[in-house]
Structures are given as C-alpha cells and as structure tokens.
Structure 1
Amino acid sequence: MSRSATAEASLAEELAAVRPALLPRYRQALPGARAAVLSRLWRALAHEPLPWIDRRTRGAHSLALRLADGRVLHGPPADPYATTAYAPAVRLGRERYDDPVRLMTDLAVPHATGFAAELAHSVASLALSRAGAHHPKEWPARDWEWERRVTDGHPFHPNCRSRPGFSVAEQLAYGPEHGPLVELGTVAVPAARCLVSGVWPEELRDGERLLIPVHPWQAAHVLKRSYDLWRAARPLMSLRTLALPGGPHVKTALSARLTSSVRDISAYSIEAAAILSSFATELAARTDGLLHVTRTLGAVTDGSPDLAALLRESPEVYAGPGERMVPVAALPGTGLPGSAGWLTAFTRLALTVGLRLLELGVALEAHGQNLLVVLAADGTPLRLVYRDLADIRISPARLVRHGITPPALTGRLVTDDEQALRRKLFGSLVAGALAATAGSGPALGAAVAAAVPDVPRTPDLNELRQSPIPTKALTLMRLSPETPGDQWAALPNPLVLEPGALDQ
C-alpha cells in the first residue's frame, strides 16, 4: 500500500471508531483533497527556486519542468495566484500522477520522503476538514463562526491542512471547522517565576501564583501534566487562539507543527507584547480610521515557550451597529470577491493601509488570518482590523524620518532592510491575502491596476508596480530543513505581464 493510501486508510479507521457518520463524506472528499494539495505542489514546482529543476518551458496549454537528472514533468499552466484545484494530474515522463504523495515519493529529491509523509497527512486531514464542514446560507453572526468556514487552511501551501501529532478525535475536538467547544485549563505557576507584560487579570491570579491558560492538546502531549479546568472557548483558524464567549481571545502555546513550523510563544514575544500593542495602536491612528489593531491586554510565560499565553481584544469590538467583521481568509465564502467593483474597493483599502504603514515604518504580516475587514450592511468594505503583532517588522529609520519615536525594542522584529520590509508586507498581503481573495492572477492584476491610481504614491508602491512579487518559498523550505529561516520566491507581477505570462 502506498504512503498516501496508508495515511488515508489510517484516518478512515480512526474516524470509523470515533465519528462513523462522517466516514462516507470523508471518502467522497479524498479525490478533491488530493487535487487541492497537488495543485499547491504544482504551483511550488512551477515557481519556487528548487535547485533540482533546471528549466521551465511554457507551451500554449502546458508547462514542462526539466529536472537536473534529465526527467521532465508536464502539467497545466501554473497561475501562482489561483486557488482552485487546477492541476488534478501531472506527468513525470510517461507516468500520470493524481496523487501528490506518490509524485513527491517518485521525484526522490533530497528530503522528499519526509515531505511526502507531510503531504499524505495534509490530504487526509483536508478531506476530514471538508467532510466536517458546515456552511449555512446565512452569514455568521459571531467571529468564531466565520473562522469555522475556512476548511482548507493555507491557500497556497501543500501542507495546507497538515496536523501531525493530532489524532482524528483531537482534530474533531480542536479544529475550528468542526465547530467544537474547547475546555481550556490553567496551570498555576509562582508569580516570581513568571514574566508578565501588560495587566494580568484577577481572574487568572491565585494569591502568589499566576494561572496560565493552557490548551488541552498541549497539556497532554507537551506538558504531560494535569491542569484545572477554566473556561470553554471556540477555536479560531490558528487553532491555538480561541475566542472566549463575550470576552477576549486567548492565544495559547500549542507546540505542534502546523503547515510548516512548530509554533510556540517565546519569552521575547511576551516581553514585547505590551510595548508592541501600545505602539501599534498609536500608529494605526495615523490611518484616518481605516485601520484598528486589536490590543494585547496581558501576556505571561513561566520562561518556557511551552507554557505561555496572551489575552487579546476581540476584533468584534471594532464593528459598529449593522456592520460585520470578516476574516479575510473567509471572504471567498461570502461571494463578494466575485464582483470586480467590490474586489477593487477591498484591494484599494488594503493597499492604502498596508503601504501607509510601510511608509511610516511598519510592515504588517497581513495574510488572511491576521487581517479582518469590517463590512457595511450592504457588504461595502469600510476599514481593516489587524490582529497578532508577533511577526511584524519595524524600521527605526523610517519611523524617525516621519518624526515617530521607535519603540524600545530590539531583536528580530527590528530591521531597516528595505527588502526584508517589502517582503514582509508584499508576501503576506499581495501574494497572500489579496491573491487568495481574488482567486487568480488575472483577477488580482485587474483589481490592483484599478486600485493603484487611488493609492498614495510612495517608493514602495513604485517597487510593487514594477518588480516581481515576493512570496515565501514554502515547499523549498520544507525540502531544505538544513537552511534556517525564511526562503523566498519571486512571482510574476500581474501588473506588468503580457497575456499568458502568468503560466510561466
């Protein structure tokens, strides 16, 4: 049995034991899940700087990739901004592949075996997510209900739904797409041992001890200790951040590998939390009301990245009467991006805000999970809300140039490198949030072209109009674990391309 068949059958066996009613829908979802993951993989093969691909040749209706060993991969044109499953099959030599796991296994490039196992998990978990999806016709009323609608995970990563270390029962219990309530716990730690940023609430204090919220998966698999039950909450897209009913969002430590990285909450993030929150709130005020940043209320760690938490304002506080707050990743499910006028208005809003902050000195990690849009009752995009400041970039030189005192921070968040700043914003906003909302290169190019005349002119805008669009080379990163940090690809710029050039 192939690796993919083994993963799919293993998940089916677990599903039959814990939720047998979902089994038929899971099996029906498998072919679509394979096509979705294969399309993401084909995009990476077509556009990322993979060292074992020598040449890419575009035909009228196909793309050929010549490998360093002489073999040739054939597939459909690869629009790097498309979100549909546009590559249901590709050919390696004369062999046809509709399974991304079998393709990666047979490519046999360095680290292919481990990556193939991740792809197998991604396919099976994606099928499970789609099987458990619930999409009522009416628009959701609460923030967590919007988050639940995003079943497919990362729009461009082949590991879009990879959740290694999670059993089927745990995916059903903790995955937002399945609509669960998660019983968060707390672990008591002597206050003298803790690093605290902001104000830690009385509810989470017990004399000389602080109570740190903990995710049940983390307690069972990483901390391996008991905890006291605290409050039930609804999981959001990031899995480790949950919405308390009527209260703030809780970002917990969840040391699991989701898509690419093992996420934790470092002491650096805790120490910087209050400073960042105050600074970002003041900077957002310079956008004429077009942007709000959710405030970090308090943050704490016992010194270990495995036990830490942040309390953050709910974005819902920034939606007025009759308005709706929608995570950008959930926008395709609203039907709104299908209107060219709406897509242009949203693109204009997002570029205006992102480029304004970049000019001032802050590059947002503005992907569809961090960025939310406030919609009027008729669906008109009014303003943006940004959450999670843990991976922005701050340029002291740019801030000073605009008469702004830089925050008292050092470390990875601080850089004056122009390329690093532009990569951060353009890679997350243009190649991420806007591309996924548009759904294709032509739609993205048309929306950006229509929006640009109304966006204030800056050197960053000139760079955006003329240069390739940076994006993280997510597959290259998984296939080169010996290289630390982010690696990048340059995507064709939809504004300056001739017709058909997106297929290269």
Structure 2
Amino acid sequence: MHGLAIDASAGSAERATLAALLRCCVREVAGPRGLVWPAPPYVLLRVAGTLLRARTHGGAALRFEGPPERLESGAWRPLASDELVRLVETELQGRGGVRGRNGEFGEQVAASRDAVAAILRARASAVPPADPWLASEQALVYGHPFHPSPKARGGAGWLAYAPEAHARFPVRLLGVREDALAQGGDASVLDTMGRAPDGYRVLPAHPWQLDLLGPVLGRELIDLGPGPVVVPTSSVRTVYVPEAEVCLKFSLDVRITNCVRRHAWYELAGAVELTERLTPVFDELSARHPATRWLPEPGYRSVSLGSGLHEGLGVIVRRSPWAACSPGVTPILAGALAQETKAHDPVAWWRSYVTVVALPVLDLYFTHGVVLEPHLQNVLAGLDGDGLPVEAVFRDLEGTKLVAGRHDLGGLHPEVARALTYDAERGWARVVYCLLVNHLTEIAATLAGTDDDLLRELWRTARDLFDRQSARLGRPLPLQDLLAGAPLPAKANLGVRWARAADRAAGYVPIANPLA
C-alpha cells in the first residue's frame, strides 16, 4: 500500500506540474505569438514547432480535463512535464538569443513537482486543523495555477514547516538585550509569549530561519528555548499563534515562488506606517462597504545588530482574521474557495462574493488612491452559517501601495516612501491583475465547472456590479475601459522565472477580458 501511495502522489504531482506549465505556455509563450487556437472541446497551441492540445473549460482559468497531448507522426500521444520543459527551453532559447539561456529552469520545475509529491505523501498521514480558517490556509497543495514552479523551495528541512503538510511547530524564543532591540509601532503582544531575563525582551524566531542564518547568539541575543506552538498559513512564513490569537510574519531566506522572503528594513517600517495611514481610510470605507474588514500590522520587532540580522530576524505582528470577522462569520481563504466551492445558488453566491470582495477594492483605488493586492492568498471570505460570503478580509500590507502624488509622504525616509508607492498606471494594472485575473477568474471557473452558459452568466452579473460601482465613482476612465473590454494584464510568472529576475520586474501579457 505504501508503494501505491507514493505512485499516486507522484502521478498527481506530475499532472499538476504539467497543467501549470501548459497554462504558462498558453498565456506567455504561444498566446502572444498567435499560436493558440480554440478547437472545442480542445485548445490547440504550438510550442517550439510541436502541436499540443488539451480539453479545457473555465474560460481564462484554463481548467484541463484529461491528459494534454502532443502530435507526433500524425498521432496524438500523452505529453509529460519533462517533455514540455524541453519544448519551452527550445522556444525561449531560440528567439534570437534575446531571452538568453537558463540552466536552472528545468531543475526548478522538477523540484516543484517533487515538493508536491512530498506534500501529498505527508498529508496522507497528517491531521488537518480543526479550525476551518486554518484548514483553508493549508489547502493549497498545488500552488499558483499559472506558475511554472509554484512549490519549488530553497533550503533543507522545509517539509516540517510546510502549511500544506499540516505542519505545527513551536517558535524559538530569543532574548534581545534592550539596548540591541529594534522595533516600531506596538509589538507588545510578543512580550506575552515567554519570559526574558531582566534587561532583555522577547523576540520569537522561525526555527527554519534560524537554521538558515547559522550562529546568531551572543551577549546581545540569547536563546530562551521553545515558545508557543504555531500554525503556518498559506504564505509559509506567516504563522498563527493560537495562544496569543495573533499572526506573525517572519523573514525566510528562501525563494518561495518568485521571491526570497526576507523582510527588507523599509518593509518593516512600512507595515507600521501603512497601518497608521490606512486606519482612517478603512474606517471611512466601511461606512460605504460595511462588509469590509482588514488585518492591521501594528508593530514589528527585531535587533539592531547589523542589517543582516535586523532584516533576517524581523517579525511583523498582524491581527487575526477571527478578531476581524463578526460573530457567526467564518473566514475562509479565497485560494481554498477557488479549489472547491459548493453553492446552492451559484449566481446569488457569486453576486454576494463580487459585492463584498471586488467593489471595495475599486473604491479604495479611485476614491482613496490605495492599491490593494487582492489575490487569492491575500483575501479571506467571511462566510455566514449558510456558506454565503457576507464579509471580506484583506491582508498583507507588503503588497499594499499608495498612488504616487495622492498622499503626502514628506518626512518619510526616501526608501520607505519609494517602497510604499506605485504610479497610477502600475497600481491599476496590479489591482486588475490580482482582482480579476488571479482571483475572480479562478472563483468563477470553480463555481461554473464545465457549464459554459453558467460561466457567461456569472461574468454578466459581475459586469453589472462593476458598472454600478463605476457610476457611483463618477465613471473613471480606467474602469470604463475595463468595462468596454480592454484586455486584462496577466502577470508573466514564466517570464520572470526564465529571466531569473526579481518579482517586482515581472511584466504582464494581455488576455481576453471576460467582462466584455
């Protein structure tokens, strides 16, 4: 039986890896060159001269049914992920050398596939959290559906800290001598997690990060032993502390999807700055959108022992979603709803979902000049006792920005100010990508399943809601262009991985707009 389980895990990991890479090819490789053709029930595409096909549904979400195939000697044969990697490498290396070569790409895809298999094997014998919110946080086994290597992670021993494997572990508590303490805002909840000797303050640390950093202890920084047991959430480095009813966001010196997840010093300071600035904004917004909730990040704590440790040991305090939601409302990660949603009346469920999730995001951008990053891992839907979305919880201030020119940032360090802002065009592209391409497209595909008529009805409903919101906002031109059918910007995750570039350098490719 054990061997069968391993084979099943490997098979599922292979199918998921192939599907994600094929979606990337449709969106970033074949699509921009006009080499994708609908041939219902298939989509056809050509990569490096080879014709591929797959049965699809779900519109732009590209949900596949059955195995993708390649045309060889006049016959359709099953396609493997390793074969598709070779085709992608041939395609991208062959464009006049413009994109260069990438000797790591195939290894990253294989590492992600192996990680998925390891996660599936671990889940088979693990106990999921009883808390429905935490269970939803730990449900994202396969990761980003449009990323070539969504589960590739650096460092050893990662499985012990993987949310998808239902990990739980104690944080390590460090004692920081008070004259070596660095903090901003209100991080006093950290003092409730353990006891430090006189002259020291408590600093919780992620045990994986301590392994990655190597020796850090000395007179200014002492080991206080294990602390409270925590539960990792979908971002891996953010954990929930049940004892303190608070979330902690750690630094991790590993690449997760596109980024090495280390706090820059200006991100630590920026979280507190944004919390102070956004508190009155969300107070005003909630008067127009009473279902809107958010998770402030009121403080951070670290050490002033050089930039490496200041950033590497920095921890941001974040409010718990249970504290944000109303009584009787259960927060559920949007990414988990994109995998499985059961609705008695899918159109009514969707209308409520778009109302509580999408409309306040548009209001924040146009009325307040605030760019949220409402992708599937940054939004929690608050479900009532009947499973209807009645609240939306927005989180993660690292991705939240202010539109340049609409806020007075005088007095801030230039690096903090730069990190907190987007120009209007970049901010709008980020909102549209996260909200529509990454988020609503996936939710709609799950609700509709293989029913294309229902999918069209869902998008008609969304269009009506967006149109009414546009009227309330004075019909701003970018939103009117969106309603007129302007193409949507889809983030080029394959391109940024191939270029081995930072996530902030990722470009966009245009895709069809389902609101049209």
Picking from 378, 389, 393, the partner of 1:385 is 393
2:97 corresponds to: none
List aligned pairs for 1:64-463, cutoff 5 A.
64-66=44-46, 71-76=49-54, 81-82=60-61, 84-86=63-65, 88-91=67-70, 94=73, 96=77, 98-109=79-90, 110=93, 111-133=101-123, 141-167=131-157, 170-171=158-159, 173-201=160-188, 202-203=191-192, 206-225=197-216, 227=223, 228-246=225-243, 247-287=245-285, 288=287, 289-302=290-303, 303-304=307-308, 305-331=311-337, 332-336=339-343, 339-359=346-366, 360-398=368-406, 410-415=417-422, 417-439=423-445, 446-454=457-465, 455-457=468-470, 458-459=475-476, 460-463=478-481
Distance 1:351 1:482 in 2: 30
SS in 1 for 2:9: helix
Which whole-Å deviations, capped at 9, do the CAs of 1:362-384 have from their partners, x for residues lacking one? 11111111111111111221121
Which whole-Å deviations, capped at 9, do the CAs of 1:350-398 have from their partners, x for residues lacking one? 2211101111211111111111111111122112111110111211444
Distance 2:16 2:88 in 1: 19
Distance 2:325 2:66 in 1: 39
SS in 2 for 1:157: coil
**AA of the residue aligned to 2:461:** A
2:492 corresponds to: 473
Which whole-Å deviations, capped at 9, do the CAs of 1:59-112 have from their partners, x for residues lacking one? 524445455x6x233223666632634472232755845322332135434445
Which whole-Å deviations, capped at 9, do the CAs of 1:305-355 have from their partners, x for residues lacking one? 222111111011122232211111121434239823212321232221110
Q: Give TM-score scaled by structure 1 length.
A: 0.83
Distance 1:329 1:407 in 2: 38
Distance 1:275 1:103 in 2: 45
Equivalent residues of 1:348, 1:448 under 8 A apart: no
Give the deviation of 1:209 after TM superposition. Answer: 3.6
Equivalent residues of 1:175, 1:239 under 8 A apart: yes
SS in 2 for 1:424: helix
Equivalent residues of 2:495, 2:506 under 8 A apart: no
State percent identity of aligned pairs: 22
SS in 1 for 2:61: coil
SS in 2 for 1:128: helix
2:505 corresponds to: 485
Distance 2:345 2:492 in 1: 28
Equivalent residues of 2:109, 2:152 under 8 A apart: yes
Which whole-Å deviations, capped at 9, do the CAs of 1:414-467 have from their partners, x for residues lacking one? 13x332111211111111121222226956653232033234114242232221
SS in 2 for 1:422: helix
Equivalent residues of 1:198, 1:273 under 8 A apart: no
SS in 2 for 1:243: strand
**AA of the residue aligned to 2:299:** G
Aligned residues: 465
Q: Give TM-score scaled by structure 2 length.
A: 0.81
Distance 1:232 1:292 in 2: 27
Equivalent residues of 1:326, 1:373 under 8 A apart: yes
Give the deviation of 1:220 after TM superposition. Answer: 1.1
Instruction: Judge which range, 362-371 or 275-284, deviates more.
Output: 275-284
Instruction: Judge which range, 174-183 or 236-245, deviates more.
Output: 174-183
Give unmatched runs, 5+ long, in structure 2: 94-100, 218-222
Equivalent residues of 1:285, 1:291 under 8 A apart: no
**AA of the residue aligned to 2:110:** A
Distance 1:283 1:87 in 2: 47
**AA of the residue aligned to 1:220:** D
Equivalent residues of 2:489, 2:511 under 8 A apart: yes
Equivalent residues of 2:115, 2:152 under 8 A apart: yes
1:60 corresponds to: 39
Equivalent residues of 2:381, 2:390 under 8 A apart: yes
SS in 1 for 2:469: coil
Give the deviation of 1:255 after TM superposition. Answer: 1.3
Give the deviation of 1:27 after TM superposition. Answer: 1.8
Equivalent residues of 1:76, 1:87 under 8 A apart: yes
Distance 1:42 1:295 in 2: 38
Distance 1:383 1:489 in 2: 32
